[in-house]
Amino acid sequence: MLGVSIAAHLFARFPDRAEGELARIRAHVVSRESCAVVARNLGLDRDLADRGRELGGDAALAAETIAGSSSVMAEVIEAVIGASYLEFGAAEVVPAIVEAFAERVAYAADKHVDHKTVLQEDLARRGASVTYELVETTGPDHDRRYTTAALVEGRELGRGSGPSKKASEQAAAKEALRGMAGGKPPG
Query: If you average pLDDT over residues 146-171, what whole number do you get?
Result: 94
Query: If you average pLDDT over residues 146-172, what whole number do you get?
Result: 94
Q: Is the predicted pLDDT of residue 18 greater than 90, yes or no?
A: no
Across 29-33, 139-143, 156-160, least confident range: 139-143
| pLDDT tier, 39 (very low <50, low <70, confident <90, very high otherwise) | very high
Q: Is the predicted pLDDT of residue 185 greater than 50, yes or no?
A: no
CA distance 169 to 120: 12
Q: Is the predicted pLDDT of residue 51 greater than 80, yes or no?
A: yes
pLDDT at 182: 62
CA distance 4 to 42: 21
pLDDT at 127: 92
In the chain, the domains with their CATH numbers are: 2-110 (1.10.1520.10), 115-180 (3.30.160.20)
With beta carbons less than 8 A apart as the criterion, state whether 109 and 25 touch.
Answer: yes
